[in-house]
Chains A and B, each alone.
Chain A
Amino acid sequence: MILRNSAIGLALLVATSVQAAEFKWASTTDPQTMDPHAVNSAPVLGFLNNVYEGLVRRGKDMTVEPALAVSWEPIGEGEGWRFKLREGVTFHDGSTFDAQDVLFSYQRASGESADTRSWFAPVSEVIVVDDYTVDIMTSAPNPLFPSSIANWMIMDQGWTEANDAVVPDKETGNYATINANGTGAFKVTAREPGLKTVLEPHGDWWGEVEHNITRAEFNPIQNPATAVAALLSGDVDMINPVPIQDVARLKENADVDVIQGIEARVIMLGFDHEAETLKYTDDAGKPNPFRDARVRQAVAQAINVDAILATIMRGNAEAASQLVSPAMSGYSAANADRPAFDVEGAKALLAEAGYGDGFSFGLKCPNDRYLNDEPVCQAVVTMLAQIGITAELDAMPVRNYWPELREDNYDMYMLGWSPGTFDAEHPVRFLVATPNEEKKLGSWNFGGYSNERVDELLPMIQSELDATKRQAMLDEVTAIYQDDHVYVPMYVQPLVWGTGSNIDLTQRPDNFFILRWVTVN
Chain B
Amino acid sequence: MFAYIVRRMFQSVIVLLVVGLVAFSMFRFVGDPIDNMLGQERTQADIDRLRGELGLDKPFPVQYFKFLQGAVQGNFGVSYRQGRPVSTIIAERAPATLELAFVSGFLAITMGIALGVFTAIRRQGIAANVIMTVSLIGVSLPTFLIGILLIYIFSVELDLLPSFGRGETVMIGNWSTGFLTSSGLKALILPAITLGLYQMTLIMRLVRSEMLEVLRADYVRFARARGLSDRVINFRHALKNTLVPVITITGLQLGSIIAFAIITETVFQWPGVGLLFINAIQFVDIPVMAAYLMLISVMFVTINLIVDLLYYAIDPRLRVDARAT
Interface on A for B, CB 8 Å cutoff?
26, 32-33, 38-41, 115-116, 118-119, 169-174, 177-178, 192-196, 219-223, 225-227, 229-230, 232-235, 368, 397-400, 402-403, 406, 418, 420, 430, 437, 440, 443-444
Contact = CB atoms under 8 A, between A and B. Distances in A.
Interface in B235-284: 266-269, 271, 275-276, 278-279, 282-284
Given A194-B82, A402-B32, 13 more contacts: A32-B81, A33-B82, A39-B39, A115-B42, A169-B83, A171-B80, A219-B269, A223-B266, A226-B164, A233-B159, A399-B35, A399-B282, A400-B31
Contacts of B44: 437, 443
Contacts of B35: 398-399, 402-403
Contacts of B54: 171
Contacts of B89: 193
A295 B53 CA distance: 43
B279 to A, nearest CB: 6
A32 B285 CA distance: 12
Contact of B78 (A115, A172, A195, A418): A172
A38 B84 CA distance: 14
Interface in B1-58: 29-45, 47, 50, 53-54
Contact of A226 (B82, B151, B271): B151
Given A223-B267, A400-B31, A443 B81 contact: no
A400 B32 contact: yes
Interface string B191-225: 00000000000000000000000000000000000
B45 A222 contact: no
A118 B43 contact: yes
A219 B31 contact: no
Interface of B: 29-45, 47, 50, 53-54, 78, 80-84, 89, 92, 148, 151-152, 155-156, 159, 162-166, 266-269, 271, 275-276, 278-279, 282-284
Contact of A437 (B43, B84, B162): B43
A189 to B, nearest CB: 15
Contact of A420 (B41, B92, B166): B41
30 contacts: A32-B83, A33-B83, A38-B83, A40-B40, A41-B39, A115-B38, A115-B42, A118-B42, A118-B43, A171-B53, A172-B83, A178-B84, A194-B276, A194-B279, A195-B166, A219-B269, A222-B278, A223-B266, A226-B151, A226-B268, A229-B151, A232-B156, A233-B163, A235-B165, A397-B31, A399-B36, A402-B35, A403-B34, A430-B40, A437-B44
Consensus secondary structure, chain A interface:
loop
Contacts of B275: 194, 222
Given A171-B78, A221-B164, A222-B278, A443 B37 contact: no
Contacts of B268: 226
Contact of B42 (A225, A400, A403, A443): A443
Contacts of A40: 38-41
Nearest to A220: B269
A399 B269 contact: no
Contact of B84 (A177, A229, A234): A177
Nearest to B269: A221
A44 to B, nearest CB: 9
Contacts of B92: 192
Contacts of A26: 164
A226 B268 CA distance: 7
Contact of B156 (A196, A233, A418): A233
B271 A399 contact: no
Contacts of A192: 92, 271
Contacts of B34: 402-403
Nearest to A403: B32
B270 to A, nearest CB: 10
Contact of A173 (B29, B33, B78): B78
A420 B30 CA distance: 28
Find the residue from A32, A169, A402, A437 having the highest chain B CB count within 10 A: A32
A230 B44 CA distance: 41
